[in-house]
Each structure stands twice: as C-alpha cells, then as structure tokens.
Amino acid sequence: MKPILYLLLVSISLVGDTLNELVDYAMANAPVVKQTQAEITRAALQHQQSKAAQYGTLELVADYTHYNTERTLAPLSPSAIGSGTPITTTKDLVSAGVRYGVPLFTGFSQTRRIEIAALGNELEHAKGHLSREQIVYNIRALYLSILSLQELYFAQQHYSQALEQLKKQIAYEVELGKKASLDLLKVRADLYASQTQEARFQADMDIAKATLSAMVGKEVNGLEALEIDVSPPDYDIDRLYATSARLSKVALEQIKVRQAEKKEAQTRSSQFPQLSFNAYYGKNYGEDIQRSQWDHETLWQAGIHAQYTLWDFGLKSMQTQAAAVATLKASLHKEQTLLDLKKLVAHAVAKVNRSYTVYLGMQAQMQLTQESERIERVRYENGVATLNDLLLAKGKYHIAKAKVIESKYSYQRDIYYIDYVMEQGAPQ
C-alpha cells in the first residue's frame, strides 16, 4: 500500500515568516548575496576595462625642469644650425602637450585578454547562481530544523503533562496507602528528565533561529507551519543524470576549461612581434637667456614601435607548457565534477527513498507503542502491571512519536536536497 499522508507540522500555527518570504528577503538583502552581486559587478567592470584597453590612452602631460646649463626649446636640425638665426636657449624648460599610445598588434594577446575577462564575467554569474542555491538550501534546512524542534518541544510538553497527571494520581494513591512511595519517586524522576529535554529543545530552537537570522539578514522569531506531503518518491534517476550535465556546476567547470585554453593561447602570443603606435603634440616654453623674455616651440611626433624577442633561454616555452598543463588539469577537473555530480544525484535519490521507508516504519511503530501504552495503563490501574511497565510503555510511545516527527522533516529536507543538487531551489 502506498498511502499519501498530508501532515501539518504543528497543530498551533504561529504568526511569523513563511519560508518563501524568508527566501525572497535573503535573495534581496542577505550580506552573502550582496557580496556575490559585488563580485559579479567587479567581473563586469574588468571585462569593460579589458575592452577599453584596446583603444589606447590619451594623456595630458606637463613637465618643468631646471638645468645647470642652457638648453634649446626644441631639437636643432642641421639647417637651423647653419642659418645664423639666433637660437633660443633657457635653463628653465616647461613643456605641456597631449600624448596618445595604442597597441597595434600584440600577437592576439589583447584579444585573448578580452575573451578571458568575458569568461570571468560568465564565471561569476555561475558562481552567483550556485551561491544562491546554497543559501536557499541552508535556509530551508534551518527552517525545517526549527519547526521540527518546535514540534518535538510540544510533544515533550505533552509527555511531561501526562507524567504530571500520573504523578498526581500516584501521590493521591500513596496517601491512601494503595501505592508505594517508590512509585512516586520513579515518576518524578521521569518528569524531571522530560522537563530537562524540553529546555534542551528550547535552547536548540534559539540557536537555530539566531543562525537563520544571520543568514537571512533580519531577525527571525515566529515561523509559519508547512504542509508536508509524505508520499512515495517518484524520481527518474536516468532523467536526473541527463539533466545534471547541463547544470551550472558543470557550466562553471567548462568556463574554467575555456579560460585555461585562452590563457594558453595568450602565452603563445608573446612569441609574435609586438607593434605599438605613439604620438605626441605639445609646446616647450622657456625664458630666452639672451633676450630675457619667454619664447616657445611647437613639437609633435608620431611613430611605430616594434619589438621581438629572439631568445629568452626557454622562458616563454616553459610558460606555454605550464599553461597547457593548467588546461589539462581544468579538463580533468570537469570530468571529475561530472562523476561527482552523478554520485550526488544517486545519493540524494537514495536518501529520499530511505527517508520515506523510515517514516512508514516509524508510523507503524508509533501506532503499536500507543496501543501498548494504553494496555499497560489499564493493567497498571488494575494492579496487574508494575509502574515500571507503564513508564516503559509511555517512554517507548514518546520515543516513537518523536522519531515520526524527525523522519517527516528528514524526508522534506531530503526533497530540498535534491532541489539543491539539481539547482531548482533558488527563485529564478
């Protein structure tokens, strides 16, 4: 038989945040999410910087120099030297102008740099998606833990109340001489133990709420109940395997492989000639020593610079080999990620199937121990059974009830884990 059971987490619904509200708030306000967004913005700016670098730089430059001997305002040509025209000289030379420089050919190194920055941008987006999935799963797990502890706390309270009633009944019967004082001591000991467990559940709830508040980015007090459908799992593991190959975890590793390939190509670029263009236009100013008045000369120049390394003692070759090894390493890591992801999928599905089976077993055990507790109570009231028999039956029923609660939440947590593995938890 495959029953579908609809169970409410707590019978008393507290006014508080819903799970979806907390997730939405965290996605917009949690510090970890904002840090991730900052990394995405930084990667986008780096991409823009790499694209802007290909257009060169235009600079406004100025300079003042005092010499101990005279200097001309501009370099002298042979015709100027032989013309007999007075040459302006000065010891205080001031220059101002604009300078422009741009790479013409870098062996495609600059192109690769832009491509690597673009891949870095993609990488941060993939990391951001995975980070959000992790945060959502952690919020869900903490939310379930708090509700589970809350329900366990209520169950423990109910158990304590039952023991309290039993204690009063036995105390009355001790006064009448029908029961021994030892029975009263036994039930009081169990009551104290139950009350201590209540305090532990309360402390664990406070810790979990504080952790959830830090993760979400706001104070979390009450939580709304969830409706959990503990139904037979129906996962097509082959379909999950096929889907997992298209997840962001794999895409991230593929981006790393492409980055490594681009970096390998970039190292080879240094083996090509490097060409750059530079131009300058400006004026030199100075006080003519002979005439004691300021004069100026206009200067401009434009040129192409070429550079090629003939021999570097194998440095570039070793850099290229190291880049090739990095590419191989990235490829192998991607293959390992696919294998690990397949293992995670199988593990997640197995956990859900196990949780469902455990839940059914705990349900059956709880029903049996409940009936056993009822029978032992009747036997004890009729003097057939001892108090130890009754307390043992009560304890077994309480433990079975607690395990039903834990297995129910464990089942839902495992469902959320599959969502996390398959990257289906975070809002799109």
What is the reported pLDDT for 14? 42
Q: From CA 160, how far away is CA 164, in angstroms rounded? A: 6
What is the reported pLDDT for 380? 85
What is the reported pLDDT for 80? 58
Structural domains present in the chain: 5-52+121-273+317-421 (1.20.1600.10), 54-105+278-307 (no CATH)
Task: Specify the DSSP class assigned to residue 13.
Answer: P
pTM of the predicted protein model: 0.83
Q: From CA 382, how far away is CA 376, in angstroms rounded? A: 10
What is the reported pLDDT for 82? 58
Tell me the CA distances in angstroms from 122 to 85, 116, 172, 251, 255, one per residue in order. Answer: 65, 10, 75, 9, 7
What is the reported pLDDT for 8? 37
- Residue 135: CB partners within 8 Å, gap ≥ 6? 26, 27, 30, 32, 33, 215, 426
Q: From CA 382, how far away is CA 389, in angstroms rounded? A: 13
Q: From CA 123, how far away is CA 326, in angstroms rounded? A: 17
What is the reported pLDDT for 3? 36
For the chain, which ranges sit under pLDDT 70? 1-15, 77-85
- How does DSSP assign 46-94, residue by residue? HHHHHHHHTT-EEEEEEEEEEEEEEEESSPPPHHHHTS-----EEEEEE
Q: Which of 415, 367, 410, 376 is nearest to 394 (CA)?
A: 376
Tell me the CA distances in angstroms from 117 to 125, 127, 319, one per residue in order. Answer: 13, 15, 20
What is the reported pLDDT for 2? 35
The tens digit of pLDDT for each residue in 316-341 reads: 889 889 999 999 999 999 999 999 99
Instruction: Please give the radius of gyration of the chain, using alpha carbons only, rounded to the nearest integer.
Output: 39
Task: Specify the DSSP class assigned to residue 15.
Answer: P
What is the reported pLDDT for 288? 84
